[in-house]
A and B are shown apart, each in its own frame.
Chain A
Amino acid sequence: MNTTLCENIDWVGCVDWTVRDFHGYSTDRGATYNAFLIRDEKNALIDTVKEPFADQLLQNVAALTDLASVEYVVCNHAEPDHSGGMGRVMAMLPQATLVCDKKCLAILGHHHDVSGWKTRIVATGDTLSLGKRSLQFIETPMVHWPESMFTYVPEEKLLFSMDAFGQHYASSQRFDDEVPLCTVMDEAKTYYANIVMPFAKPVAAILDRAAELEIDMIAPSHGVIWRRHIPEILEAYRNWSQGRPKPKVLVIYDTMWDSTGEMARAIHEGASQAGVAAGLINVRTSNLTQIATETLDAACIAFGSSTLNQGVLPMAGAVLTYLKGLKPVNKVAVAFGSYGWSKGGAEAVDEDMKAMKWDVLREPIRALYRPTAEVLDECRAAGKILAEKAKEMACDRKANGRVCVDP
């Protein structure tokens, strides 16, 4: 396995092959916790790993240098998947000074006893010389937490980007040109949708900062390292952070006795016939991670739920709660659903869509117990209208000068 980014800068992280649930994020391809060792006149470790992997990280470091020779440990992000191993690492690196921003040290102090640690607080614009190479620090608040930070090595044009541009993707390879591009882009999209989406505005700010840097390599803290497809991932982040839609209609539903399911299929049929990408998701046979990922670039969403106890079905409610937190933007939407003696399901969906500031095209489509032929016609017509709208939205975006890059 090639773990060398460039001369004397190596990946020393860990691959978590078997993790499938990352605080609710379905990690179907596992994960990696990336850490990097820079060997220079002064040696620096960039980031650590999740706590159970700390000893493996230390073994990886020890294979390259004496542990006592590591002078700096940079912490770009205090979340436990990168800093859980920090306590063990600081105990085993006797000469090490922790380098991080002020907020990071405060957060680390909630997780570890930092009282005996040597620390050096840095801020945007600060530089730390290692000898031939140096570290420049750029604070990137809310990408992903308030304390998050990039570390840049100008001599190598190498950016340690922490969670930004990451993917949950376990692999024997470390670089983007050693794995299928469609797979890595798919995982980068999943990661963006499920982790980064709520922070679109701060992401736009850091993309502007990144544009000022000369970059030959981007080393995120999860997944493979970008060295060949940097323009593609930067372009994808621009599109995602600006909420650029694709000509795509997504029909998401939950159903009790298939009345709402039948409505969903009719909407999907209407959208499909209008010649756009149309997806159909039953929330009980899919998962939150996939639904968020599919939602990210869909121009239009039809969301349905049968009425249960005057509200939505519980899994539909879970999806709506998750989406409200992720804040997908620029969506045109319609709610639908069946009901019996009292309404409430489609109405609650409609309310949540409006709370997300989606452009809701019409009042909810409703079916009393079973959808009649007229209701199904109404569903097909709504699907067609959503499809036409999706085409328009994608065209508007192209006219603004950019064409979406897959995925």
Chain B
Amino acid sequence: MDLDMTRYACTVCSYGYHPMKGDPENGIPPGRPFASLPDDWRCPWCGASKDHFIPEEGEQDHTGGASL
């Protein structure tokens, strides 16, 4: 199964979640699709919750789970 590598941006502070990089400082290894992040994961820059993230422009989100 192909993993969804769509990048997501935080609508509060513009931080970009890049699945290929993950968020290693907060326990998220590289290669994790945004939708698979734990529900309590928060933006490492501003602390916003996952529902403040949207797929980056021009990218399609195939997995659902993210809304503004």
- Residues of A near B37 (CB, < 8 A) are none
* Contacting residues, chain B, for A202 (C-beta < 8 A): 13, 15, 45
What residues of A have a CB within 8 angstroms of the CB of B13 in the complex? 141-142, 146, 202
Residues 10-51 of B, flagged 1 when their CB comes within 8 A of A and 0 if not, give: 001111000000000100000000000000000011100000
Which of chain A's residues has its CB closest to B48's CB?
Answer: A146
A386 to B46, CA, bound (A): 32
Q: Are the C-beta atoms of B44 and A201 separated by less than 8 Å?
A: yes
* SS of B interface (majority): loop
- The answer to whether B25 touches A141, judged by C-beta atoms less than 8 angstroms apart, is no
A interface, how many residues as a size bin?
A: under 10
Residues of chain A contacted by B45 (CB below 8 angstroms)? 141-142, 199, 201-202
Given contacts A141-B14, A142-B13, contact A357 B25 (CB under 8 A): yes
Tell me if A139 is interfacial: C-beta within 8 Å of chain B: yes
Residue of A nearest to B12 (CB): A146
- The complex places the Cα of A141 from the Cα of B15 at a distance, in Å, of 8
Q: Interface digits, A306-342 against B, CB 8 Å rule (1 contact, 0 not)?
A: 0000000000000000000000000000000000000
Interface size on B, residues (CB 8 A): 8
A residues in contact with B15, CB < 8 Å: 141-142, 202
Per the bound structure, the CA–CA distance linking A142 and B45 in Å amounts to: 7
**Given A202-B13, A357-B25, A142 and B46 contact (CB-CB distance below 8 Å):** yes
Binary interface profile of A, 101-144, with partner B (CB < 8 Å = 1, else 0)? 00000000000000000000000000000000000000101100
- B-side contacts of A199, CB under 8 Å: 45
B46 closest partner in A (C-beta): A142
Closest beta carbon of chain A to B50's beta carbon, Å: 17
The distance in angstroms between the C-alpha atoms of A202 and B14, with both chains bound, is: 10
- Interchain nearest-CB distance for A342 vs B (Å): 31
Q: How far is the CA of A199 from the CA of B12 in the complex (A)?
A: 14
Of all chain B residues, which has the CB nearest A325? Answer: B47
Residues of chain A contacted by B25 (CB below 8 angstroms): 357
Query: Once the chains bind, are A146 and B44 in contact (CB under 8 Å)?
Result: no
CA of A170 to CA of B56 in the docked complex: distance in angstroms? 43
Those of B44-65 within 8 Å (CB) of chain A = 44-46
Rounded to whole Å, the gap between the CB of B13 and the closest CB of chain A is: 4
Q: Say how far B25's CB is from chain A's closest CB, in angstroms.
A: 7
8 smallest beta-carbon distances between A and B, as pairs: A141-B13, A141-B14, A146-B13, A142-B13, A142-B45, A146-B12, A142-B46, A202-B45
Q: Footprint of B on A, CB under 8 Å?
A: 139, 141-142, 146, 199, 201-202, 357
Q: What is B's interface to A at a CB cutoff of 8 Å?
A: 12-15, 25, 44-46
21 pairs across A/B with beta carbons < 8 Å? A139-B14, A141-B13, A141-B14, A141-B15, A141-B45, A141-B46, A142-B13, A142-B15, A142-B45, A142-B46, A146-B12, A146-B13, A146-B14, A146-B46, A199-B45, A201-B44, A201-B45, A202-B13, A202-B15, A202-B45, A357-B25
